[in-house]
Amino acid sequence: MTQAPAIELKGISKAFGPVQANKDISIRVMPGTIHGIIGENGAGKSTLMSILYGFYKADAGEIFIAGEKKNITDSQTAIAAGIGMVFQHFKLVENFTVLENVVLGAEDSGLLKPSLARARRELKNLAEEYELNVDPDAVIQDVGVGMQQRVEILKALYRKADILILDEPTGVLTPAEADHLFRILENLRREGKTIILITHKLREIMEITDTVSVMRRGEMTATVKTSETNPAELAELMVGRKVLLRVDKAPAQIGRKILEVKDLNVTDAKGVHRLKGISFDVHAGEILGIAGVAGNGQSELLEVLGGYEKATGSIKMNGEEIDLTGAKSDGQSRRARGIAHVPEDRQREGLIMDFHAWENTGFGYHRDARYQKNALFMDNAALKKDTEEKMARFDVRPPDPTLAAKSFSGGNQQKIVLAREIERNPDLLLIGQPTRGVDIGAIEFIHQQIVALRDQGKAILLVSVELEEILSLSDRIAVMFDGKIMGERMPQNTDEKELGLLMAGMSGGDS
């Protein structure tokens, strides 16, 4: 091997207080390759990349770029060393054009015009070279997430990055957009760029990377050639034990109609038509999966069913009409009707992050008789006891009811919400993004709980942007695009490709 590695990290360690986020990590990435870093949430992937990009300073260890030792103190020196980063949450100015965003922070002089002209020429070259086509004059807020991501990549390339780090890049993309992204990455690799891809999706690792490093609890547990490994082995390396990647479930025993939605329409406060005449049913003993790219009305659907968004149309729960004007019913009356709701965003809705776990256990059900001591006071002791029992049954770690919700990992936070909602024994469970930000070990557990509830004859409405999750859990799949249901499919008769087309708004005919 004569060529120096594009990036070499030697013995990187970083601690936050008592938490060892990175422990003695060494890694070599050769130029012109795509290197995947996979690991559960909190495994230390993002910390490692933040050190490489100069956001954090390592407690120990050295960084070599193209064989040269570098002291990266901030993002400016990282950029100067040829490192570009595409964050999970884009860092773009919404009301600037594509061109302005690319130039921002990399202007040639005080005058903007020559910089913009140069950037326009450069963008054209890059677009041809790498299939990175964007409209330089489009305003960011008007373009889709796929193009926004390409702008982020262009920003890095415009700053002469040779090394590109992408943090969970496909989280917001449709399958087709993800394929496009991968084509771009392959083009970049062909031109000799080095790419580091951080992800928790095994499929992406297998599809595109040359080598892959697995992280677990701050340590690098393995670095292997992608061609010499398989998803099951990687999953085991990530979690530290054998993992069931497929969901085991018996055929559905479909019962009576629990939820009947007819011609549901929602117009939000800004006057945007979010739901455009949606109709569907959910039966007892059935999981109806709603697939779709985020932002196509799924959130509004859950909010309406959960009782905190107004709508027109008709919803019948157990045959009874529900008030949709918000006047006579709210989240409380929905719960009384047997609707439980695990919201999409547990940090914003499902939990109060600064509340203790025990306070969160009663959240939404705090008016229940069993949580009251008498007419005046709540029974905090009963809440704490209930929380302890729930934590034991749902294997929440650490099992301490007095910890604030924010002190738990994503998976354990989700288990607290799930325990609260499932143990109410609802007729209908609404569940949004059940495994977002949840580690593989907990995903398995959460999926089992959902299937177990279905097998008890409950109706479940599952909303997820993860197609794999929809395909493996659902007994029936509806695809949403732009506030409409594009079609319904049975999971055994469809595949990711067909669903992907529906998700992109291309109707597949029958439904």
Residues in contact with another protein by the rule CB under 8 A = 15, 17-18, 306-308, 330-335, 341, 343, 345, 348-355, 359, 362-364, 366-367, 372, 376-378, 380, 407
Residue 75 carries which side chain, given as an amino acid letter? S
**Least distance between another protein and beta carbon 53 (Å):** 22
Strand-pair category, 459-463 with 476-481: unpaired
Sign of the torsion angle spanned by Cα atoms 454, 459, 463, 467: positive
**Least distance between another protein and beta carbon 446 (Å):** 19
Cβ nearer to another protein, comparing 386 with 444: 386
**Least distance between another protein and beta carbon 341 (Å):** 7
For 155, the 3-state DSSP assignment is: helix
Cβ nearer to another protein, comparing 462 with 479: 462
Burial class (CB in 10 A: 0-12, 13-18, 19+), 374: exposed
Cβ nearer to another protein, comparing 157 with 463: 463
Q: Residue 462 and residue 3: Cα distance in Å, rounded?
A: 50
Cβ nearer to another protein, comparing 134 with 339: 339
At residue 138, φ and ψ (nearest 5 deg) are -75, 145
**Least distance between another protein and beta carbon 422 (Å):** 16
Cβ nearer to another protein, comparing 341 with 489: 341
Cβ nearer to another protein, comparing 82 with 364: 364
Cβ nearer to another protein, comparing 144 with 331: 331
Strand-pair category, 83-86 with 68-70: unpaired
**Least distance between another protein and beta carbon 344 (Å):** 10
Cβ nearer to another protein, comparing 372 with 448: 372
User: Tokens at residue 92, please?
Assistant: 């773009």
**Least distance between another protein and beta carbon 17 (Å):** 5
User: Tokens at residue 190, please?
Assistant: 């062909």
For 26, the 3-state DSSP assignment is: strand
Burial class (CB in 10 A: 0-12, 13-18, 19+), 194: buried
**Least distance between another protein and beta carbon 359 (Å):** 7
**Least distance between another protein and beta carbon 57 (Å):** 12
Contacts 24+ apart (CB under 8 A), 374-383: 383/358, 383/359
**Least distance between another protein and beta carbon 378 (Å):** 6
Radius of gyration of the chain (CA): 25
Bond preceding residue 18 cis, omega within 30 of 0: no
Cβ nearer to another protein, comparing 368 with 498: 368
Q: Residue 406 and residue 356: Cα distance in Å, rounded?
A: 9
Q: What is the DSSP string of 34-66?
A: EEEEEE-TTSSHHHHHHHHTTSS--SEEEEEET
Stated as kind and residue range, the H or E segment containing 344 is none
